[in-house]
Amino acid sequence: MTQNSVIAAFDFDGTLTYRDTLLPFLIYVVGPYQMCRALLLEIPGFIGYLFGRVSRQDIKEGILKNTIAGMPKEQLMQKGAEFALQVLPQKLRPEGIKKLHWHQSQGHRCILISANLNAYLEFWAKQMGFQDLLCSKLQYDAQNKATGLLEGKNCRGREKTVRLLDLLGKRKKFTLYAYGDSPGDKELLQLADYPFYRKF
């Protein structure tokens, strides 16, 4: 990376899309009945979260354990590619995609940074021309089956800036545009030279 490189970092859910895409993806993979069952089983976790005793990562992993745990990696990645091709196009914000294309036309290095899953974001990010993807990753066991846990931390809040700086190096080496829409993007936006919160 050259001195004074220009970086455009985009959050995904709510920024490039109209709303969250994790639940639609899980419904696509396991169906609405199993998804509803997983949410009902996670009610104690939601209550714990409201009282500060349970983290967002705990909630996410609880849902994943009750939906995709035990599924082969190959199957999940195939479902992810299908979801990216067949479902995500209807969920994209045109103004967000227009801004992505503008940065690409300027030769800026575009990075997708999201708390959502690599199972479908890997395919989508590559298809859309992002140079890098930083996101939450599914963990697999020795048999290449999903455990229902994440590999490392949920890519939200401070974790976004940690991963971005791990990728790019010292902050002074680049100019940063950042786009986000939620409190989970606060640290990323604070890091940016040009932060855009819920606007393009």
Q: What is the mean pLDDT of residues 5-27?
A: 97
| Average pLDDT over the chain, rounded to an integer | 95
Closest residue by Cα to residue 133 from 142, 124, 141: 124
Q: Which fold has domain 5-197?
A: Rossmann fold (3.40.50)
pLDDT of residue 96: 96
d(CA 85, CA 64): 22
Q: 33-36 — which CB contacts under 8 Å span 24+ positions?
A: 34/66, 34/67, 35/67
**CA 24, 61, 135, 158: dihedral to nearest 10 degrees?**
120
Q: How confident is the model at residue 3 (pLDDT cuts 50, 70, 90)?
A: very low
Given a cut of 80, is residue 137 above it in pLDDT? yes
Closest residue by Cα to residue 114 from 76, 73, 72, 84: 84
Q: How confident is the model at residue 4 (pLDDT cuts 50, 70, 90)?
A: low
The reported pTM is 0.93
pLDDT tens digits for 73-106? 999 999 999 999 999 999 999 999 999 999 999 9
pLDDT tens digits for 30-54? 999 999 999 999 999 999 999 989 9
Q: What is the mean pLDDT of residues 136-145?
A: 98
